[in-house]
Amino acid sequence: MISPSSIDQVFETARVEEVIGDFVQLKKAGSNFKGLSPFSDERSPSFMVSPVKQIWKDFSSGKGGNVVAFLMEHEHFTYPEAIKYLAKKYNIEIEETEQSNEQKEKANERESLYLVSEFANTYFQKILHKTDQGKAIGLSYFKERGFTPETIKTFDLGYSPNEWQAFTDEALKQGYNIDFLEKTGLTIVKDEKRFDRFKGRVMFPIKSMSGRVLGFGGRILINDKKAAKYLNSPESDIYHKSKVLYGIYHAKQTIAKEDNCYLVEGYTDVIQFHQSGIKNVVSSSGTALTSEQIRLINRLTKNITVLFDGDAAGMRASLRGIDLILEQGMNVKVCTFPEGEDPDSFAKQNSLEELTQYLNENAKDFIQFKASVLYEESKNDPIKKADTVRDIINSISKIPDTIKKEIYIRECSNIMDISEEVLFSTLAQMNKKEGQEVDKQFKKDQKAFEVIKNQQPVEKVDVQYLLERKIIEILLLYGNKTEEFEDLVLKENESGDLGLEPVIHEAKVFEKVFLDLQDDEMEFTNPKFKTLYYTIIEKLNQDPNFELNSFVNTVDNAMASEITTILMEDERYTLDDWERQNIYPKAKTETIAQLVSETILSLRCFLIDLKVKEFQNQTLNNKVDTNRNILEEVKDYSGLKMLLSRKLNRVL
């Protein structure tokens, strides 16, 4: 268990915008930050972070909460793991008790897979550095590749001994379950026999964006035609090849800072670049590039520079990945190395300055790159040249941005010496089906402005739900503030008619809300809001130094999520950059007392309406004398509503 004081220190130190900034590229939006949702595939930002309130909200998925909730949602951490991650990030020492073997066995399956993977990572490093076999074979190989001790440590490189079940035996000895060893792929089980999958290989741990070990890549060091040169962990509950990028943990901050990501093919390419000083580099680890991997980069930057070996055949095979990147609305550049060179060897032979200069001078726009690769093969063959043009136009068709499409068409026209009209015509043919769908959608949108008979009934607004929600928001944001309130007191005038007279008094916002609701015997109808209301009132009553950040951290996840939704919903307009259009919403802090009074008055008016309807229904089955009494009640309530409406400046 982690001590409460350690948890408090973590919450006091951690900044939600800094932590989330490691996973999502955030841009300033007023007093908040916005970015693309890490939980859904989108092109327009719907993810918001509030540094003031220390909470976040994803409007596309509905998720939200504090900094710990983000790590639990995004990285699938348990609560203690999220606290430990933050403690490590901010160099906070935490007090905790050691997990026993029984506790390890009781951990849920997913967590057990993580524990096994972490153990394996530590074990392989220990073998590399502490055993004769590891030093003579594994460490020697890494040194031959030019990796320094610091680099080897940074990437947690290791070695699996060239023995059939050395790792498996040690894991079982330490209390790890054979089922989880098998599910991570670290151990192969055949009947009664057990084998180490990565026997005799140097090990490259594959980590998540937060640094958790998901799986491994292993390279064999002997010539064995029957064995694969590189071997990856099989798919598991924690490792999905198509959703992981090697090096993303070490590269994420530099990618966001430099606003560019270098994409390479192998583990050693990433490591060598990082050692050279270029840290914003990741690898698809030898697998074909996927949309999920691209979206992982898209959270951090819109710019990708793909680095290819000098091998022409390999480059052509990799061109398909460029189209996937373009489909995501990203900007793509391509850089190739001299024949016989790859990113690993080139970085090893050149200084940081030389490497940087080469990348800057040789990174081409994808149009120029495709033209240079394909055009050389087809310049003397009209048919091949036509195919090349179609190939390039097909890539352009993937781009969602219309303006970018037109710019690239013009560039292609200059490079290929073909008229823009022909290229636009070709693009139109490729997009014919898509164009028809767009046309249909356009016509459909136009119909929205026409008067249409037999329209579907508009969904009824739940007024009481919205007003109760607004009261919770007021209590959370301003509950502890002291304001001057103008209360209306019912008094009879000289004519005997009821009238409202204003009385000014000073009070805490939460006291004003509580007393007004209590006086009118108004109860919350929504169970969530009712629970929240009494929890907040109790906290405000007990703690004169009530702080929203601390309060959110003390409630359960369900309540924290509801609080986040309420608090962030009203700030959603910042996602649309209204200020750029000279629209400046008025800050609620300027009219807190008015906001409180109007919300409670609105709720009173609504409840009066309900009461009047209730009386009207009663008159249908009652006697005349009873009806007279009911009508008198209706008259009194209607008069009260008239007075309240005047105060609200509303017309009945």
SS (H, E, C) 428-474: HHHCHHHHHHHHHHHHHHHHCCCCCCCCCCCCCCCHHHHHHHHHHHH
Distance, CA of 282 to CA of 264 (rounded, Å): 6
- What digits encode the pLDDT tens for the residues 335-366? 988 888 889 999 999 999 999 999 999 998 88
> Nearest 5°: phi and psi at 280?
-90, 60
| Residue among 202, 276, 211, 215 at smallest CA distance from 247 | 211
Query: What pLDDT does residue 628 have?
Result: 53
| Residue among 58, 172, 190 at smallest CA distance from 123 | 172
Q: Enter the tokens of residue 9.
A: 């220190």
Which helix or strand (DSSP H or E) is residue 28 part of? strand 27-29
620 falls in which pLDDT band (50, 70, 90)?
A: low
Average of pLDDT values for 620-643?
A: 52
Residues facing residue 498 across a β-bridge: 492
DSSP 522: -
Is residue 66 predicted with pLDDT exceeding 80?
A: yes
Query: What pLDDT does residue 570 have?
Result: 65
Considering only residues 406 and 585, tell me which one the structure prediction assigns the higher pLDDT: 406
Is residue 634 predicted with pLDDT exceeding 80?
A: no
Query: What pLDDT does residue 621 have?
Result: 58
Query: What pLDDT does residue 504 have?
Result: 83
Query: What pLDDT does residue 9 have?
Result: 87
Most confident of 110-124, 410-424, 525-539, 617-631: 110-124
CATH 3.90.980.10-classified regions of the chain: 108-239
Percentage of the chain surpassing pLDDT 90? 30
Is residue 651 predicted with pLDDT exceeding 50?
A: no
Query: What pLDDT does residue 650 have?
Result: 47
Query: What pLDDT does residue 490 have?
Result: 61
- What digits encode the pLDDT tens for the residues 90-99? 998 888 766 6
Average of pLDDT values for 134-150?
A: 96
452 falls in which pLDDT band (50, 70, 90)?
A: very low
| Residue among 572, 71, 17 at smallest CA distance from 256 | 17
Least confident of 216-225, 372-381, 469-478, 504-513: 372-381
Residue keyed to tokens 């790792």: 167
- What digits encode the pLDDT tens for the residues 271-317? 999 999 999 999 987 678 888 899 889 888 889 999 987 665 556 65
Considering only residues 447 and 52, tell me which one the structure prediction assigns the higher pLDDT: 52
Burial-class residue 113 by CB neighbours within 10 Å (0-12, 13-18, 19+).
buried
**Residue 322 CB contacts under 8 Å (≥ 6 apart), including other chains:** 306, 332, 334, 366, 370, 395
Least confident of 60-69, 418-427, 429-438, 591-600: 429-438
Q: Enter the tokens of residue 153.
A: 């440590």
Burial-class residue 597 by CB neighbours within 10 Å (0-12, 13-18, 19+).
buried
CATH 3.40.1360.10-classified regions of the chain: 248-435
**Residue 396 CB contacts under 8 Å (≥ 6 apart), including other chains:** 326, 367, 405, 408, 409, 412, 427
Considering only residues 282 and 483, tell me which one the structure prediction assigns the higher pLDDT: 282
Amino acid identity, position 212: R
- CATH of 248-435 among 3.40.1360.10, 3.40.50.11060, 3.40.605.10, 3.30.70.20: 3.40.1360.10
- CATH of 108-239 among 3.40.640.10, 1.50.10.10, 3.90.980.10, 3.40.50.300: 3.90.980.10
Average of pLDDT values for 481-501?
A: 71
Query: What pLDDT does residue 586 have?
Result: 54
Q: Rounded to the nearest 5 degrees, what angle is found at the Cα of 457, between the Cα atoms of 456 and 459?
A: 120
| Residue among 146, 129, 148, 151 at smallest CA distance from 138 | 129
Residue keyed to tokens 């955030």: 26
> Nearest 5°: phi and psi at 7?
-65, -45
Is residue 443 predicted with pLDDT exceeding 70?
A: no
Considering only residues 621 and 236, tell me which one the structure prediction assigns the higher pLDDT: 236
Most confident of 307-321, 377-391, 427-441: 377-391
Is residue 445 predicted with pLDDT exceeding 50?
A: no
- What's the CATH fold of domain 4-89? DNA Primase; Chain A (3.90.580)
Is residue 134 predicted with pLDDT exceeding 60?
A: yes
Percentage of the chain surpassing pLDDT 70? 79
Distance, CA of 77 to CA of 80 (rounded, Å): 8
Is residue 170 predicted with pLDDT exceeding 70?
A: yes
Average of pLDDT values for 615-622?
A: 60
> Measured between alpha carbons, how far is residue 89 from residues 51, 78, 409, 589 in Å?
18, 17, 47, 35
pTM of the model: 0.68
Q: What is the 3-state secondary structure (H, E, C) of 89-134?
A: HCCCCCCECCCCHHHHHHCCHHHHHHHHHHHHHHHHHHHHHHCHHH
| Residue among 47, 48, 38 at smallest CA distance from 73 | 38
Least confident of 194-203, 258-267, 497-506: 497-506
Query: What pLDDT does residue 448 have?
Result: 44
Strand ranges (E), 129-227: 158-160, 187-190, 193-196, 201-207, 213-220
**Residue 416 CB contacts under 8 Å (≥ 6 apart), including other chains:** 371, 375, 385, 388, 389, 392
Pairing of strands 261-264, 303-308: parallel
Average of pLDDT values for 53-61?
A: 88
Query: What pLDDT does residue 564 have?
Result: 86
Burial-class residue 620 by CB neighbours within 10 Å (0-12, 13-18, 19+).
exposed
Distance, CA of 130 to CA of 630 (rounded, Å): 91
| Residue among 94, 84, 74, 72 at smallest CA distance from 5 | 94
Least confident of 42-46, 493-497, 561-565, 636-640: 636-640
Distance, CA of 34 to CA of 14 (rounded, Å): 19
Query: What pLDDT does residue 529 have?
Result: 87
Distance, CA of 334 to CA of 256 (rounded, Å): 19
Query: What pLDDT does residue 377 have?
Result: 66
> Measured between alpha carbons, how far is residue 572 from residues 29, 373, 557, 576, 581 in Å?
10, 46, 22, 8, 16
**Residue 339 CB contacts under 8 Å (≥ 6 apart), including other chains:** 310, 311
Distance, CA of 26 to CA of 21 (rounded, Å): 6
Average of pLDDT values for 391-408?
A: 86
Query: What pLDDT does residue 278 have?
Result: 96
How high does pLDDT run on average in the chain? 82
Query: What pLDDT does residue 202 have?
Result: 97
Distance, CA of 250 to CA of 252 (rounded, Å): 6
Amino acid identity, position 284: S
CATH 3.90.580.10-classified regions of the chain: 4-89
Contact between 328 and 294 under an 8 Å Cβ cutoff? The reply is yes
Least confident of 100-104, 185-189, 479-483, 631-635: 631-635
Least confident of 22-31, 64-73, 90-99, 238-247: 90-99
